Amino acid sequence: MLRDRFHLPPDKIYLCGNSLGPQPKAVADQLDTELSTWRERAVEGWWGGPAGGWLGYSARARHGLANIVGAHPEEVTVANALTVNLHLLMVSFFRPTGKRRKIIMEAGAFPSDQHAIISQLKFHGLNPDDCLIEVAPRAGEWTIRTEDIVTQIEGVGEELALVLWSGIHYYTGQFFDIQAIADAGAAAGARVGIDLAHAAGNVPLHLHDWGVDFAVWCNYKYLNGGPGAPGGLFVHERHAEDDSLPRFAGWWGHRQSDRFQMRREFRPERGAAGWEVSTVPVLGMAPLLASLPLFAEAGGMSALRKRSELLTQQLYDGIAAINGLTILTPADPQARGAQLSVYVPGHRPDLEEQLSEAALVVDYREDNLRGSEGGVLRLAPAPLYATEEEVIRAVRILGDQLA
């Protein structure tokens, strides 16, 4: 645990890193370095100064991110934002032809994914009512069974163009079996993309070995990259030099070796970097460079996972003892990450503020899966900074306030 390396809200128990990670203390120095370079070198900061200048700025994050998401460095990069990256990668990997036009995703996915997919279908002249298939939990259940996902993929078969799924469901906290989903999608002849917004930096991932075609994520949750931090993207190495893939090109995706020759012809950088579009936002990305070394210092995702399981089980056991609450997140530690989602009967839009006043920072969402008169609290003891003592106090506060 590296709690002393973060700025945390004073006198608060912070279990909301699944929404926005706290600020690493090294961020101020990292930003000051870039501000000093800008101040002292101006445009020459692009090719000189600390670490060789800003031209290779996004490359400085690749090894750290690759270790976190289970990829090769050239398969990942930092650019744009999550939904922008999702659109850009769907341009390349959602290519509806003939009867292969359908997309499968989980029901109740984060709205931005739904917006992106529906707008992409419409862009191709397709009716979302016909071409978007959403797999839902069975009646009376909150989470989605892996066998139901695989069965649906197999059933759509030759009509399936893309499987786009979450690594962890933002609402229930369910950690999906990405390997099984990727295998089923590939067997059906479809492309497979994963939204890792709530999984990157939370659970161990093996994107390369799982064989998914692409993945996207934000860097401001468990990766502590700051509000609105540039997003991350993964493209499997088998696509690294596939010139047949269409893409929306931009000059920062052009090969750095001859980018400044200013030619009309687009020659993409090899690997994920070829999907970058606009100039790297140096000041926006600086906090991420301060955060990534902390994951390596903590022993990597394997070590963090062990601590996360301990904290989350402690939280699970404590909440389970509070009358009137239902934990939506699976009891199986392998089917969840750091987040527990707790159903609270009755519409309580004030509950988030009430708990914050009692020193517990979490978030609250109205029930959007069943439309009941209730809501869901999401609590996430992130292992980089949360403590066992905080979990005990959080359970006590929750019980007292709900009583």
pLDDT score for 369: 67
* CATH number of the domain residue 398 falls in: 3.90.1150.10
Q: Which candidate, 297, 312, 278, 275, places its Cα nearest to that of 388?
A: 312
Question: Is 29 part of a structural domain of the chain?
Answer: no
Residues of the chain falling short of pLDDT 50: none
Question: Is 31 part of a structural domain of the chain?
Answer: no
Question: Per the structure, how many domains does the chain have?
Answer: 2
* CATH number of the domain residue 139 falls in: 3.40.640.10
What CA–CA distances, in Å, run from 163 to 171, 271, 375? 20, 21, 29
Measured at the alpha carbon of residue 265, what is the angle toward residues 261 and 268, in degrees to the nearest 5?
85
Residues 287, 310: Cα–Cα separation, whole Å: 28
Question: Are residue 56 and residue 144 in the same domain, yes or no?
Answer: yes
CA 392 to chain centre: 28
For residue 332 the two structure tokens come to 């199986």
Domain, as residue range, for 394: 3-16+300-402
Give, as one character, the DSSP assignment of residue 280: P
Q: What is the pTM of this model?
A: 0.96
Question: Is 95 part of a structural domain of the chain?
Answer: yes
Question: Is 28 part of a structural domain of the chain?
Answer: no
Question: Are residue 203 and residue 336 in the same domain, yes or no?
Answer: no
CB 151 within 8 A of CB 157: no
pLDDT digits (tens, 9 = 90+) for 314-372: 999 999 999 999 999 999 999 999 999 999 998 788 999 999 999 999 999 887 666 66
CB 191 within 8 A of CB 161: yes
Question: Are residue 322 and residue 352 in the same domain, yes or no?
Answer: yes
